[in-house]
Amino acid sequence: MLGDTVVRLWRLYHTPTGKKLFRYSMVSVVSTVVSFAVLGILFYALQLWSEVPDNVLANVAGILPSYYLNRSWAWGKSGPSHLWREVVPFWAMSFAGIFLAIGAGSLAHHLGVSVFHLHRLGRTAILYGANIFAFGVLWVGKFLIINKLFHAGPSLDDAELEATPS
C-alpha cells in the first residue's frame, strides 16, 4: 500500500502538474517562513500589538514573495502581469487569506488569553497553529484557482499519471 502511494507520488512529480504542485508547495513554504518570521518579530519579540494586527501584517509580508515566486517559478510566467487575469484575482484571494488571518488571530487571542491564560510564548504558539490551520484550508483552493489563472497547461488526470514512466 505504501509502496503504491510512493510510486504514484513519484509519477505525479514527473508530470507537468506534479512539478507545478511541487513548486507551488515550495513557494508556500517560503511565504510561510517569511510570514512566521515577521510574526515572531512583531508579536513575540517586539510585542508591538496583539494577535490580530501582528498576524495581518505578517501575512501581508508573505504575499509579495508568494505572487512573484508563484508566477515566475511555479507557473513559468514572464513579462508583465495581466491586471484582470492575474493580479486582481491573486490579490482577491490574498485578501480572503487576510480575512482568515483576522479570524485566526482573533481565535488565537481568545484561546491564549481567555481560555488557557497563556503568556506571550504560548500565545505565539497558538497563533502559529491557528495560521497553519486557516491557510491550510485555503491552500488547495488557491492552487486550483491560480492554476487556471496562469493557464499553466493541462490538468492532471489518471491518464497523465499512467503515461508517465517510473
* DSSP run (H or E) holding 113: none
Please state the pTM of the whole predicted model.
Answer: 0.79
pLDDT for 165: 53
Which residue, 147, 161, 159, 18, is CA-closest to 93?
A: 147
Number of domains in the chain: 1
pLDDT for 59: 93
pLDDT for 63: 92
Given a contact cutoff of 8 angstroms between Cβ atoms, the answer to whether 74 and 31 are in contact is no
5 burial (CB, 10 Å; 0-12 / 13-18 / 19+) is exposed
> What range defines the domain where residue 113 resides?
2-163
Max CA distance (Å), the chain? 55
> pLDDT 10s digit of each residue in the chain, 166 long?
788 888 998 999 999 989 988 998 999 999 999 999 999 999 999 998 999 999 999 999 999 899 999 999 988 889 999 899 888 988 888 888 889 889 999 999 999 999 999 999 999 999 999 999 888 888 877 777 777 776 645 444 445 555 555 5
